[in-house]
Amino acid sequence: MDNKSTLSRRTFLAGAATCAAAAPALLHSAVHTPFRQTLLHVATRASHSGYVHTFLLASDGCTLLGSTRTDSLAAFAVHPVLPTLYVARDCREWEALPRGVIETYVVARSMSPLRLVAQTPMALSATGPRSIGVSPCGRHLLVSASTGGAWNAFALDPDGIPSLVAITRKETGITLEPGAVSMPTPHGLVFSPRGPHALGTDPGTGCMTLLQPSSEAIAVLARQQSPYGLTLSSPVWTNDGLYVIVGNAQNASLSLYRMPAVLEKGSEASFHLASTVPTFTSVTALVAHASLPAVFTSRRQASGSRLEQWKIDRSQLRVITDAWVSGNVVTLAQDGGSLWAVSDDRLIRIAIEELHNPNRFEMPLPMHGARAIVTQSLPAHVIDAHS
């Protein structure tokens, strides 16, 4: 660890305690039930080194459990039921071969909250992972390999460990626009809350692809060309499974896509553009509402960021609440009644009910370079079992 990037646990804990004292009401709202505990993982990266900082959200405060060094972190995701965190590392080579690597960590409530249990190489030439997703059934893990122009899938065993064999799907020449030649750069992806299929976005070709991973192959169920290009931010799938929202690259806007209601094996799948709405400035982060067919977005505005909650109303996106926060919000997460935002130097929690309320929980992040956050809600005994 170099001194500059060293994260002082004491500074962090002090910060957390101060904030806890200042906003006890907010902290209370983070706790769902007496039997569940919620963790928040914040990934930071400076050059090739980085950390995942794991916080425990409790009724009496927000505690930093510990920080785990994870070099070259590109993306992370949590398992839907197991105390497991997956990290995709954007190394140029893994064990001297050109490919990324997926690291699997068991999460525990201890001072070393992440314990590395597996390192699973991506397929040969699957370089540049950018997004990682786990199917709601917890049996498949999908990763984009942006510079490798491919998607990779891994079967997850009952302990959540990825199989050693990565199935790869190379996106050579997939553009749907006649005559256009563009290099594929698979980037964002999101699983449907309803099944083991995911929507992948490729800003290089402007293609959106409905993918279905299995232990033998990654099937393409349907493809759509975005008329407005695609941003680098991952799309989101609404909690009812009916819509996907993507950020458009060519103009500052969001598009809403209607997804197939049921996907049966062998059945024809298609999805289509339902509507597009301008956002004035480009959306930099999106997250789905956990319990409603709604979505939260963040975009730059003045010297800060505008957070907006969108509702879907007759196949149209409509802002229902918004708020302005100082600083550049780079990523969002949602859990229970709270929206979590990370800016360059702060972790912010906002009660969804009071999005515009300026009285927010804010905590300084002593280390710059926040990339991603994710919340993980697990039964207490599950997290404690590994402590």
d(CA 303, CA 299): 11
Among 4, 10, 158, 181, binds another protein (CB under 8 A): 181
303 belongs to the binding site for another protein (CB under 8 A): no
Q: Minimum CB separation from another protein for residue 282, in Å?
A: 28
Residue among 100, 149, 196, 336 that touches another protein (CB under 8 A)? 149
Alpha-carbon distances, residue 99 vs 17, 49, 203, 268 (angstroms):
41, 18, 21, 33
Q: Does 166 bind another protein (CB under 8 A)?
A: yes
Which of 79, 99 has the CB closer to another protein?
99
- Which residues, in sequence order, are bridge partners of residue 238? none
> Which C-beta is closer to another protein: that of 113 or that of 196?
196
- Contact between 45 and another protein (CB under 8 A)? no
Binding of residue 216 to another protein (CB under 8 A): yes
The piece of 81-89, 93-101, 266-274, 318-326 that touches another protein (CB under 8 A) is 93-101
In what order do the strands lie in the sheet containing 272-278?
A: 236-237, 243-248, 253-258, 272-278
Residue 175 interacting with another protein (CB under 8 A): yes
The residues facing 341 across adjacent strands are 332, 348
In this chain, which of 91, 141, 167, 341 binds another protein, going by CB under 8 A? 167
User: What is the CA 133 to chain-centroid distance, rounded?
Assistant: 8
Residue 91 in the binding site for another protein (CB under 8 A): no
Asked if 1 is part of the footprint of another protein (rule: CB under 8 A), the reply reads no
C-beta closer to another protein: residue 175 or 338: 175
Which of 211/287 has CB closer to another protein?
211
Q: Tell me if 254 sits within 8 A of 317, measured CB to CB.
A: yes
Determine, following the binding rule CB under 8 A, whether residue 174 of this chain makes contact with another protein.
yes
Q: Is 123 in the site for another protein (CB under 8 A)?
A: yes
Cβ count within 10 A of residue 358:
9
Stretch of 94-102, 135-143, 189-197, 261-269 contacting another protein, by CB under 8 A: 94-102
d(CA 177, CA 182): 10
Binder of another protein out of 5, 44, 72, 168 (CB under 8 A): 168
Q: Does 16 bind another protein (CB under 8 A)?
A: no
Using CB under 8 A as the binding criterion, the count of chain residues that bind another protein stands at 30
Closest contact distance (angstroms) between CB of 149 and another protein is 6
Nearest to another protein of 93, 344 (CB atom): 93
**Is 141 an interacting residue with respect to another protein (CB under 8 A)?**
no
* Of the candidate residues 24, 98, 136, 229, the single one contacting another protein (CB under 8 A): 98
Please identify which residue in 96, 261, 262, 302 interacts with another protein, judged by CB under 8 A. Answer: 96
- The CA R_g of the chain, rounded to the nearest whole Å, is 20
What does the binding site for another protein look like in residue numbers (CB under 8 A)? 96-98, 123-125, 147-150, 163-175, 181, 183-184, 216-218, 220
